[in-house]
Chains A and B, each alone.
Chain A
Amino acid sequence: MVGAFDFVPAIVLLPFFSFLVALFLGKYMPKGGALAGITATAGSLLLSIWTVLTVAGFTGTATTYQQTLYTWAGGMEGTPLPYELTFGLLIDPLSSMMLLIVTLVAFLVHVFSLGYMNDEGETGLPRYYAGLGLFSASMLGFVVADNLLMAFMFFELVGLCSYLLIGFWFREEAPPSAAKKAFLVTRFGDYFFLIGVVAVFATFGTAAFAGDGSFPALAEAALAGEGGGDVNTLFGLDPQAWFTVVGLLVLGGVVGKSAQFPLHTWLPDAMEGPTPVSALIHAATMVAAGVYLVARMYGFYALTPTTLAIIAFVGGFTALFAATMGVVKREIKQVLAYSTISQYGYMMLALGSGGYIAATFHLMTHAFFKALLFLGAGSVIIAMHHNENMWDMGGLKDRMPTTYYTFLAGSLALAGIFPFSGFWSKDEVLYEALVHGLGGSPLLLAAWAMGLLAVFFTGFYTFRMVFLTFHGKPRTDTARNPHGVRWNVKGPLAVLAVLAVVAGFINMVPVAKLTGLEIEFLHDWLAHGPSGLTSEHYSELTHDYANYSVGTLVGGELGTALISGAVSLGLALAGAGLAYSLYNVPEPVEHTDRLGSAKDVLFNNYYQDEYQVWLANDVARGISRGADKFDQGVVDGVVNGISSVSLLSGSRVRRIQTGVVSNYAALLTLGLVALLVILGLQGGWFV
């Protein structure tokens, strides 16, 4: 019987075809190939919905799917390779949920692009839509990958698309530079990731994510003392230590792609790309690839407590660190960029704290509300004739109500205000970190504290942005007479706004604990799946190998959940309230100037960019120039020295060195002929 799973390859291939169509035929088509992209992503979205329903069991029994499709290397009979390298599909609750998120946002972004790119009269639209199509295909290929190598390959391809789309306006100076930086910084992380991939192959002989012979399963067996012979640790390390090394290597790619400290510097620069691209790639999907990868191989990470602790700590730190920078930015997209870094920090914090479900939950809600905020910002940018400075805005509330109310919904979700979606997911992230921290992992408490503090900053920068943009009096002429937007902008905003409000209801943990109702749908959703890939298995692993257990404050789990939720809500409201009192006035002034020199540090991003530019420009280029001098002077100097010595001793030969090339030609030809004649004589040809 033909089912949804037979069409999963089409989810990936449809946007790929739209890439080809837009690239080669886009200039002959109306809308520059937009319609091909919209059709393709709509098709992918429908197929993804069907896939999710099938995984959920609406079409019979709940089921998952794992299938090798193509042997990339080693597929021939009798080839002596130690292992095959394959492409395959792994459709389980996690990947099908991600498919839905990616196809939905991709579809909405395509529609929005009609307003942002076509209506604004941009040139180069076929290139733009080809880039979006290739990105969607690559991202979806990454999501359905059933092994680490395939995941790496698509991970790199989304990086290419990101490069191409950030640099879309290539005739200007800044976008190509930002594109280069984005690719280079993430490439630095991917260097470690690639070592991790080959290390996984060297250790396990497979990179499959799921099944009894998969590398997480083999690693678990090795640590449990079963089947250790199949696992080949390197450098004489014991399995636990070696797995930690491998996990950290792969984490390099995650830190780069998900813009975690210290490889976060590319993301704010990436805002040079068109805003729909920022929404799709640099907020909702590609940046999520790193977090998704950790979730995808969580069965491996859950075995190594050191890695988990580092993930949690990096996440908590990044959440706070980026949120503080978001407080002082002037441009609306910059605020959102630092907010994105901060929010992915929360997801990492959750993953490191054993909160697999919390992380995927926040991944989903964030994808919706952050895509919404970026598209809302896009709408504002259209209205402002591509001026992104919030200090030139003000009072847009009455002039663009659809954008305002949808943006407000997204902001409430981002700040984590009850009952918007971000409240539920961020709350669960902090709850997981708290209870596991209390349960005997004090390091998590430090990470939790940073995450909690970041809530205050989040509330503040979010509403500073809202008030500066939409409230008060218009501060410029453009803000007084903004450019209108059409249905193709408002439609996607409305859909995402609804999701930003309601998406949290699928997993209201505190309410469930309070009332005893079984409404933790996401918990149920992720609890089923292929053996070894379920949330229950993961919590067993974190319990057994990382000693994560649940500790509580007063009132048991319920009390802790309520206290945690109340504290984070209180902090978010405090931050929002401060922003309200400072910026919700007719003519706001920049209160952050009062921070003095601290503001300079924040505004300059803690000088992170400076030292990385210094490393790339001064150090690397300096070394390379030195190497070049050494090469030409010493290495080549020796060669020339030897040759001049030998030429001097052979000065008599110089008479025939006339420097005329045709003479050399004659000599060489003569020599060859003579050689052949001698050989011929020797061989008796002429007898």
Chain B
Amino acid sequence: MIIEALIAFTFAAALVTFVLPDRLAGRGAFALSLVPVLGSLYMWSQFDASGNALLGGQTAFETVIPWLEVAGYEISWYVGVDGISLPLVVLTTVLTSLAIVSAWTPIQHRQSQFFGLMLFMEANLLGVFTALDFFLWFIFWEAVLVPMYFLIGVWGGPRRKYAAIKFFVYTNAASLIMFIGFMALVLGLGDSTSSFALPDVAQALRGGDLGSFYGLDANTLRVVAFAAMFFGFAVKVPVVPVHTWLPDAHVEAPTPVSVMLAGVLLKMGTYALLRFNFTMLPEVAVEYAPFIAAIAVLSVIYGAMLALAQQDLKRIVAYSSVSSMGYVILGLVAYTAYGVGGATFQMVAHGLISGLMFMAVGVIYNTTHTRMVGDMSGMADRMPVTTGILIAGAFGYMGLPLMAGFAAEFFIFTGAFQSSVIAGNGLALFTAAAMFGIVIVAGYLLFAMQRTLFGPFRLDTDYEVGPAPLHDTLPLAVLLVCIIALGVAPEIFFSMITDAVDPVIGGVLQ
């Protein structure tokens, strides 16, 4: 029941916020958003699932309510969490609350709508990470786009309309292709499944029940469906070369929206890749592992090189997300406990770290009204606390040990390096190549920090610069504490993750 309660409460909170007066909306939305935070932490403390929700494990907080029947397929309100989804639920609630606080300063018009949409988006995100029925999941999946579209399109920068439409059309078109791919699979299963429940579909597919459909034999169908879903999710992640909506969306979006976009929305893509492609069709993933690994390495290195070329702090962080998400793909394709577990852990770690980085850039922007590297220097002198946290966050992004990013990346590296998914230890070579990302990330972040934070103070815009207000820096501090906690004790999430990941990799690699 708790999942329904959380989602329903968050929807209700969104409605309440819509009608609050603008001056109260920020504070009100934050107070309301604490309830899902507490709820998700309660779920973490009471978590008793074992195994993978899709592959016959025991799911926590499960609810199944038959809903309707379409063309002989049952559709249910079917939600529940396992060790893969619960960390993402916690990430969503925590990051939303902090993003709301970080929006207090920059959002100065139509606040009630802004904060209402943030909560509306949170509710749908919770749905995405807990739904276990495809139909239900797809509704949430698509519904997330709506608030995001408006958040960018209404409160964004000068080119907000272009960015919002590009984001919406690109990811929506991708969703359509993914939808067709999945439907083909379900229809190809024929009588093996009579519902859209993801566990039924996943188990039937892993049980080898796939038949031919539309003139395609089972093997071809598998590959085509895999490709369609991979494309659909890859746009969302995003991986190179379907990433170009991301920097535009980030640059135009207000900072708190960037936090949600990088912190949580990108994880929808990697989460879905894990739940659909890598859980349901492992044989295709293994067969095409060299291609997938190549995409992962390309995303890591090319994304990092792009970040190196940027002069806008937000674009730097945006491109670095492409790079970090490449690691997730690398971990997923490894099909080892550390690889897939590390990829899942990276979703959380990167959510927190990129959230911190975007927020910190936002705090600087709030005071200086510029994000260009060349427009300022020596900010450390005027904003010591923000600078300190930004430096810590940047080192977290570079994979400093005892912070969450290192744990995630090390798990992925060690899991991928020893994977036999490509004959002759081929994935070890891909891994070694991808790892060069840790040098480039240090390069672009250190360059950017040196030029903006250090040296004599200089600012090319006409604003008074002083320490940021407490409610600007507090979310940063909270995130930093979370990042260090997960880096020192990754077991907070990692043991439940590996428990849920184990059935996914089971039997895939001999």
Footprint of B on A, CB under 8 Å? Answer: 71-76, 78-82, 85, 149, 152-154, 156-157, 160, 164, 167, 170-173, 175-177, 179-180, 183-184, 187-188, 190-191, 194-195, 197-199, 201-202, 232, 234-236, 616, 620-621, 623-625, 627-628, 631-632, 635-636, 639, 643, 659, 661, 664-665, 668, 672, 679, 682-684
Query: Within the assembled complex, what's the spacing in Å between the Cα atoms of A88 and B443?
Result: 32
What residues of A have a CB within 8 angstroms of the CB of B406 in the complex?
153, 156
Q: Please, which residues of chain B bring their CB within 8 A of the CB of A659?
A: 161
Query: Do A180 and B425 touch across chains, with their CB atoms under 8 A apart?
Result: no
Q: A79-B495, A183-B442, A627-B305 are in contact. Are A170 and B435 (CB under 8 A)?
A: no
Residue from B380, B381, B401 in contact with A153 in the complex, judged by beta carbons closer than 8 Å:
B401
* Distance in angstroms between the alpha carbons of A85 and B490 in the assembled complex: 11
B435 and A191 contacting across the interface, CB-CB below 8 Å: yes
Q: Is the CB of A661 within 8 A of B154?
A: yes
Do the beta carbons of A176 and B454 come within 8 Å of each other?
yes
Q: How far is the CA of A184 from the CA of B308 in the complex (A)?
A: 14
Interface residues of chain B: helix, strand, loop or mixed (majority): helix
Contact check, A184 vs B68: say whether CB atoms are below 8 A apart.
no
Inter-chain contact total with CB atoms closer than 8 Å = 180
Is there contact, CB below 8 Å, between A153 and B402?
yes
* Separation of A659 and B498 alpha carbons in the complex (Å): 47
Any chain A CB within 8 A of the CB of B358?
no
Residues of A within 8 A of B1 (CB): none
Point out the residues of chain B lying under 8 angstroms from A74, CB to CB: 498
A residues near B455, Cβ cutoff 8 Å: 170-173, 176
User: How far is B168's CA from A643's CA once the two chains are assembled, in angstroms?
Assistant: 12
- Residues of B in contact with A, size category: 35 or more
User: In the complex the two chains form, is B435's CB within 8 Å of A627's CB?
Assistant: no
Binary CB contact string for chain B from 290 to 310 against chain A (1 if under 8 A, 0 otherwise): 000000000000100111111
- Give chain B residues whose Cβ lies under 8 Å from the Cβ of A198: 410, 413-414, 417-418, 431
27 contacts between A and B (CB under 8 A): A72-B407, A72-B490, A75-B491, A79-B495, A80-B498, A149-B410, A156-B401, A156-B406, A157-B402, A160-B400, A167-B454, A171-B378, A171-B457, A172-B456, A176-B454, A180-B450, A184-B442, A201-B414, A201-B417, A234-B428, A235-B424, A236-B424, A621-B308, A631-B302, A636-B244, A639-B245, A668-B146
CB <8 Å contact, A195 and B432: yes
**B52 CB, min distance to chain A CBs, angstroms:** 12
When C-beta atoms are compared, the residue in chain B nearest to A234 turns out to be: B425
Residues of B within 8 A of A636 (CB): 244
Interface SS of chain A: helix, strand, loop or mixed? helix
B438 within 8 A of A: yes
By beta carbon, the residue of chain A nearest B307 is A624
Q: Is the CB of A199 within 8 A of B417?
A: yes
0/1 string, B131-153, CB within 8 A of A gives 1: 00000000000010010011001
Interface members, chain B 358-412 (any A CB < 8 Å): 378, 380-381, 391, 395, 398, 400-402, 406-407, 410-411
Is B30's CB within 8 Å of the partner chain A?
Answer: no
Please tell me if the beta carbons of B309 and A627 are within 8 angstroms of each other in the complex.
Answer: yes
Q: 10 tightest CB-CB pairs across the interface, nearest first?
A: A683-B68, A153-B401, A176-B454, A202-B418, A76-B495, A628-B309, A624-B308, A636-B244, A624-B309, A80-B502
Q: Does B470 contact A (CB under 8 A)?
A: no
Q: Indicate whether A627 sits within 8 Å of B439 (C-beta atoms), given known contacts A180-B450, A235-B428.
A: no
CA A672 to CA B308, docked complex, whole Å? 41
What residues on B are CB-neighbors of A78 within 8 Å? 499
Smallest Cβ-Cβ distance to B345: which chain A residue: A73
In the complex, A623→B444 CA distance in Å? Answer: 13
Taking a contact as CB atoms under 8 Å apart, the answer to whether B425 and A235 are in contact is yes
Having A82-B337, A661-B150, one finds 20 other A-B pairs with CB under 8 Å, namely A72-B490, A82-B418, A153-B406, A156-B401, A164-B391, A170-B455, A172-B456, A188-B439, A190-B438, A191-B439, A201-B414, A202-B414, A202-B428, A232-B418, A621-B308, A627-B302, A628-B306, A628-B310, A643-B169, A683-B67
Q: In the bound complex, do residue B438 and residue A194 qualify as a contact, i.e. CB atoms below 8 Å apart?
A: yes
- Cβ–Cβ contact A679 & B68, under 8 A: yes
Q: How far is the CB of A459 from chain B (nearest CB, A)?
A: 39
| Set of chain A residues within 8 Å of B34, measured between Cβ atoms | none
